[in-house]
Amino acid sequence: MGIAFKVDSEIANTSIYVCDLQLSKVYLKDDKDNPWFLLVPRKNKSEELVDLTFEEQNLLMEEITIVSEFFRKEFAPFKLNVGTLGNIVRQLHVHVIARYENDRAWPGPIWGVPATQCYTSEEIKGIISRFKDFTH
Amino acid sequence: MGIAFKVDSEIANTSIYVCDLQLSKVYLKDDKDNPWFLLVPRKNKSEELVDLTFEEQNLLMEEITIVSEFFRKEFAPFKLNVGTLGNIVRQLHVHVIARYENDRAWPGPIWGVPATQCYTSEEIKGIISRFKDFTH
């Protein structure tokens, strides 16, 4: 048995847990301007995509696709931004972000630019529930 | 036969062609601070990862891995940043960027922050040559 997987406390404390997919834990950022999910592969000591096996990389790509298709269905993004930076939180995590032509950082990158609106708890419940339906 | 693939002129004009991999054309940005490659899948009308087939997504992940491993070998990055934004150039392209703790944008995202140093033509030839050797 390996050591139990633990999500970095910065992610756990600043994002909302959504569910587990086959490889990753899914989190929602409280950013009503720009729907924003994080995928955190449940693999200890991973910091880079290349720290995953080939099979895990393909699974992660599948999970990016699931989130992307959910975003297209629910939030009509003008553009999706997908990236793994990890300059601040080193644990491997992938951002999937819905971008709009009039959003707060357009057309620049949105990392580090604070959200201007939060969700209500009802809205959060709705997004989590619809994502779970979407993946079943 | 499909329509011949054409790289967006913004990418072709501002980056240096390196080589073709199985799926993608590879370009080098002229940024000596932060080694930075672009992967441009040779598939017309693709703007998002989800516009690729499952097989193409996996190939792209493999090519991200090839570039990442080359960067680790050649440039000893403190962290890799991998992302597809496309807010300005819509044609699907993936950035693989070597980041350092003392680089010009650390720890923020580096997109949109201009390079402070260019390569010499000898350095560019060397990088291209070593990447081709690495992939053969």
Sheet of strand A94-99: strand arrangement:
A15-20, A24-29, A36-41, A94-99, A79-84, B79-84, B94-99, B36-41, B24-29, B15-20
- Cα separation values, B22 from A114, B62, B78, Å: 39, 10, 28
Q: How far apart are CA B40 and CA B94, in angstroms?
A: 7
- The answer as to whether B78 is a domain residue is yes
Question: Would you say the C-alpha torsion B60, B111, B81, A18 has a positive or negative sign?
Answer: negative
Instruction: Indicate whether A106 belongs to any domain.
Output: no
Q: Is residue B85 part of a domain?
A: yes
What is the least distance, in Å, from the CA of A85 to any CA of chain B? 4
Structural domain tally of chain B?
Answer: 1
**Within an 8 Å CB–CB cutoff, is residue B104 touching chain A?**
no
Do A16 and A28 form a contact (C-beta atoms < 8 A)?
A: yes
pLDDT at A100 over 60: yes
Asked if B83's CB is within 8 angstroms of A81's CB, the reply is: yes
The whole-number pLDDT of residue A1 equals 53
CATH (domain of A57): 3.30.428.10
With tokens 């390569």, the residue in question is: B119
Supply the pTM of this predicted model: 0.97
A104, B31, B68 from B91: Cα distances, Å: 23, 21, 22
Residue of A nearest to B52 (CA): A65
Enclosing domain of residue A62: 9-101+114-134
Per residue in A35-76, pLDDT (tens digit) is: 999 999 999 999 999 999 999 999 999 999 999 999 999 999
Q: Does residue A47 belong to the interface with chain B, where contact is any CB pair within 8 Å?
A: yes
User: Who's near A48: CB < 8 A, 6+ residues apart?
Assistant: A84, A86, A92, B68, B79, B80
Give the number of other CB atoms < 10 A from CB of residue B60: 23
Confirm whether B4 is domain-assigned. no
In a domain, B2, yes or no: no
Average pLDDT over residues A88-99: 98
- Residue A135 contacts B, CB cutoff 8 Å: no
The C-alpha atoms of residue A108 and residue B111 are separated, in whole angstroms, by 7
Q: Which H or E run includes A10?
A: helix A9-14
- Our CA-based measurement puts residue A122 at a distance from the nearest CA of chain B, in whole angstroms, of 29
Q: Is residue A22 part of a domain?
A: yes
Answer whether B77's CB lies under 8 Å from B101's CB. Answer: no
Instruction: Note the pLDDT tens digit of each residue in B50-106.
Output: 999 999 999 999 999 999 999 999 999 999 999 999 999 999 999 999 999 999 999
Q: Is residue A3 part of a domain?
A: no
ipTM, 2 decimals? 0.96
pLDDT in tens, B16-54: 999 999 999 999 999 999 999 999 999 999 999 999 999
* Position A78 in a domain: yes
B82 - beta bridge partners? A84, B96
CB-based contact (8 Å) between B49 and chain A? yes
Partner-chain contact A79 B57, CB within 8 Å: no
